[in-house]
Amino acid sequence: MLKIVHAADLHAGRPSSRELDKEKASIRRREVETSLHTIIDLVKQEEANILLIAGDLFEHLYTRPSWVKEAALLFASIPKTRVFISPGNHDPALRDSLYRSIRWPENVTVFTESGFGEAVLEDMGVAVYGYGWTGFSERERVVRRFRCPRQDLFSILLIHGDLLAGNEISAGQEEAASKGGYGVLAGKADSPVENPRQSSEYLPILLEDLRETQVDYVALGHIHAPMDFQVGRTRVVYPGCPEPLDFGDRGQRGVYLITVEGSSNGGGGSPRRSKAEFIPIAKRKMRVAEVDITGLETYEQVKKAVLSLGAQGERAQDLWAVTLKGRIDPELELDLSALEREISPEFFFVKLIPDYLPDYDLEALKDPGNQSLEARFVRHLLDMKAQAVRAGDEKGARVAELAIYYGLDALRHGEVLLRRSRSD
């Protein structure tokens, strides 16, 4: 039996979000760096034969040379495990790359040469093929060029690239299902599942490219959400980033543990079966929550509502983005930055996102007999909204509705209170 740990996208050295204060940012940066320690611990515990790192191990632009020394020492602490690394778009094997700056321990192979490298481990019955990036972008469908030359061994292709599966992935999943396969474990808002793209500057990969490789296992990196599926005879895995790096990285984050039965492919060419298990290792989670503050009358009540989110341990440990929704008393003036400051000791990190509206009584202003400036303004904008709705212009309708509240704020308070996030 063969055991493989597959990781990718550690992004060691990546600066933390500017939203974090200096202390938290340095804690978080170190936690991202030490995800490699956790991975090495897992390799030891499982006595894994192979560790695969599918690119973006570190940040070419930010990483300290001392971290790479630390990484080399960690790899040296697992001398019986063969380590393979294919550089990605954040750690390309440029001439001044840290990959080229030190002597790696003997058990480590970094695919730094252009084209596909090969390492045959006859004793394990394994062949590893790796492709390392040598620049910051790659528009070619590189995987299409690869055909596995060894069908008698358990074959692995290690590469960092962008799966453009589009709608095909569902077909792929069906295929997987019919063969007792695996499907997609977790999606992401910008994953190819929901947002099919035609091209990419990050080494585009199509499902058909994967199918034609004829390898047993494609170890990918680049997409930060974990994914495990089957294309033809080939198992394809994205482990995702071991620590969440931004608020898009919701849910579990970790690495994959692959177990391969048997010692070599059967004489009849039947592939060895592999089992893939997702192992969560992230120290913290990104949490996105909504709180409806409709009907709350005081600042203290709003504060209490936010502080009731999650368990105490989850607040203290995790990073939270909390959207305040609903309709509030127009007289309740919430100072969100003060509120954020007051509640932040309860959370590792928290940001409040305003998405509520003042509960103005629009009915009274709709009366055509009411000739006040406010009433005429509201009726005019309600007409604009109705027109937009008739024209199927959803965005226009939304803008007209928000304009009603901004306008009423301006007329009543003499200022527009920004209640929505700028990104909206």
* H or E segment and range at residue 258: strand 254-260
Total residues found in the chain within this entry? 424
Contact of 213 with 147, CB cutoff 8 Å: yes
Assess contact for 347 and 315: CB atoms under 8 A. yes
Distance between first and last Cα of the chain = 51
How far is Cα 275 from Cα 181, in angstroms, rounded to an integer? 10
Task: Closer to Mn ion by CB, 9 or 162: give it.
Answer: 9
Tell me the window of 1-9, 65-73, 287-295, 298-306 that interacts with Mn ion (CB under 5 A): 1-9
Q: Is residue 228 near Mn ion by the rule CB under 5 A?
A: no
What residues from 142 to 161 belong to the interface with Mn ion (CB under 5 A)? none
Q: Position 125: which residue type? A: G
Region near Mn ion per CB under 5 A, out of 5-13, 250-258, 316-324, 366-374 = 5-13
Q: How far is the CB of 90 from Mn ion (least distance, A)?
A: 6
- Interface with Mn ion, residue 249, by CB under 5 A: no
How far CA 418 is from CA of 153, 314, 386, in Å, comes to 62, 29, 24
**Residue 308 beta carbon to Mn ion: minimum distance, rounded to whole angstroms:** 35
Q: Which is nearer to Mn ion, 90 or 283 (CB)?
A: 90
Closer by beta carbon to Mn ion, 52 or else 353: 52
**Residue window 282-321: x/- pattern of binding to Mn ion, with contact defined by CB under 5 A:** ----------------------------------------
CB of 205 to Mn ion, least distance (A): 14
> Shortest distance, CB of residue 347 to Mn ion, whole angstroms?
26
Kindly state the tokens that stand for 78: 């697992």
CB of 160 to Mn ion, least distance (A): 8
CB of 11 to Mn ion, least distance (A): 6
> Phi and psi at residue 182, in whole multiples of 5°?
-125, -40
Nearer to Mn ion, 191 or 265 (CB): 191
Nearer to Mn ion, 56 or 162 (CB): 56
Gap between the Cα atoms of 277 and 188, Å rounded: 19
Residue of 203, 198, 193, 15 whose CA lies nearest to 92? 203
Across the beta sheet with 274-280, the strand order is 108-110, 82-85, 50-53, 2-7, 254-260, 274-280
- Closest Cα partner for 238 from 313, 319, 182? 182
Write the interaction track for Mn ion spanning residues 6-25; mark x where CB under 5 A is met and - where it is not.
Answer: ---x----------------
b/e string for 219-235 if b means 16 or more Cβ within 10 A?
bbbbbbbbbbbbbbebb
Task: Kindly state the smallest distance separating residue 9's Cβ from Mn ion, in Å.
Answer: 4
- Point out which span in 39-47, 56-64, 150-158, 313-321 binds Mn ion (CB under 5 A): 56-64
Question: Counting contacts by CB under 5 A, is residue 56 touching Mn ion?
Answer: yes
Tokens standing for residue 237: 């895995």
Q: Which is nearer to Mn ion, 8 or 169 (CB)?
A: 8
Alpha-carbon gap, residue 9 to 57, rounded angstroms:
6
User: Judged by CB, which is closer to Mn ion: 242, or 271?
Assistant: 242
- Minimum distance between the CB of residue 28 and Mn ion, rounded to whole angstroms? 17
- Closest to Mn ion by CB, 12 vs 108, is 12
By the criterion CB under 5 A, which residues form the site for Mn ion?
9, 56
